[in-house]
Amino acid sequence: MKNKIANLLQLLSTVSLFSLAFYAFTQTSIFNLLITGLQMLCTQIPLLRSYESFLPSIFTILLYVMILLVGIFGGKGKLNLVYYFSLLLYIPVAFTFSAVNWLEILGVGLPLESFLSFNQVLLVGIALITCRLFLINLSRINEKKNEFLKRGENKVDIINKKLIIYTSAVLALSVVIAVIAMIVLVIGESAVTTFFVTLPYPLLLFGLGSTFTLIVFLYYYLRRGLSIESQQKQTF
């Protein structure tokens, strides 16, 4: 029973992960372009003409049905499949904040825009990767639990719980550190740029190079000395 609940939770998390990516995708000009293209295609086919206005809903439902089918029949690699598909939907969203307009380069001639802010898109990205890391670890913990159960250990629930808690804690800490690093990078970007521009590169190159060589030399010299000393001790 507990296993079924865990599987259901896993499936729900996967669907949420996909929903987040899909929502971000719908907030881009590419999605509008895609729907317009499909509507144009429908006008050409008399049978589908009456469904023209339902196209966005039909498209969404079809995608969800596909994800559910992958979730049910996907086997061991279902998590990866859903993740890669979600990533496929997310990348165009991320490109909207790229320094280069990829649609123009590809010759489509449309502006690549998102109705979401930079922070919102970043948040979706972080949620996506965090969710994936968590789900992968969760499935690994479940595999371990089943292995323990097979070997006759009945008190695996406590171990399982602890593993989930520690994994979640490490993941949460990673996210926090990553967010802090992002803030530092964004705020300190200009300061860092100025600092790096003013650096005396030729001097740095020589200085760092010679320091590095010296460290490597010292490391090997000391290591050799220590090994000879230990050999002598063994001999006596």
Partner 1 sequence: MYTKVFLETLTSFVAFFVAGLLLSTPILVYVGLVPLFFAILGIVLNQPKTVIFDRGEHKTESFTGDVIEVAIDVTIKDGLGPVIIGDELPPHFELVEGNNFKVIWKGMSEKKDNVNYKVRCTKRGIYTLEHLNWESNHILNFKETIRGESDQKQTLTVRPRTLDIRRIRNLKTIAKLPIPLGAMNKTGMSTTDFQEIRKYTFGDTFRSINWKATARRANNLSWEPYVNEYEKEGKKVVWLFIDGSKAMGQLGTTISNPFEYALLAANDLAHYYLERNCRVGFYLFNKKSRLLYPDIGRSQQYKISRELLTMTMDNEEPLRKAVEKCRKYMIGSNPLCIVITTLAERMNSDELSNIIEGVKEIAKYSKKQTRNFPPILLINVLGYYFIANSPEKRMAADILQSEETPIKRKLRKSGTIVIDWDPTEEKLMTVLLKEVRSR
Nearer to partner 1, 58 or 170 (CB): 170
Binding residue for partner 1 (CB under 8 A) from 16, 117, 146, 174?
Answer: 174
Number of residues that bind partner 1 (CB under 8 A): 43
Nearer to partner 1, 33 or 144 (CB): 144
Q: Is residue 122 within 8 Å of residue 93, measured between CB atoms?
A: no
Residue 71 contacts by C-beta under 8 Å, 6 or more apart in sequence? 11, 14, 15, 78, 82
| 156 makes contact with partner 1 (CB under 8 A) | yes
- Residue 119, classified by CB atoms within 10 Å of its CB into exposed (0-12), middle (13-18) or buried (19+), is exposed
| 168 makes contact with partner 1 (CB under 8 A) | no
| Segment interacting with partner 1 (CB under 8 A) among 2-10, 38-46, 70-78, 156-164 | 156-164
- Considering only CA atoms, give the Rg of the chain: 27
- From residue 86 to residue 125, the character string flagging contacts with partner 1 as x (rule: CB under 8 A) and all else as - is -----x--xx-xxxx-x---------------x--xx--x
* Both tokens assigned to 180: 């802090």
Residue 10 contacts by C-beta under 8 Å, 6 or more apart in sequence? 79, 135, 138, 139
| 178 makes contact with partner 1 (CB under 8 A) | yes
- From residue 27 to residue 66, the character string flagging contacts with partner 1 as x (rule: CB under 8 A) and all else as - is ----------------------------------------
Nearer to partner 1, 39 or 168 (CB): 168
Q: By C-alpha distance, which of 130, 169, 134 is closest to 6? A: 134
Where on the chain is the footprint of partner 1 (CB under 8 A)?
91, 94-95, 97-100, 102, 118, 121-122, 125-126, 128-130, 133, 137, 140, 144, 148, 151-156, 158-159, 162-163, 166-167, 170-171, 173-175, 177-178, 181-182, 185
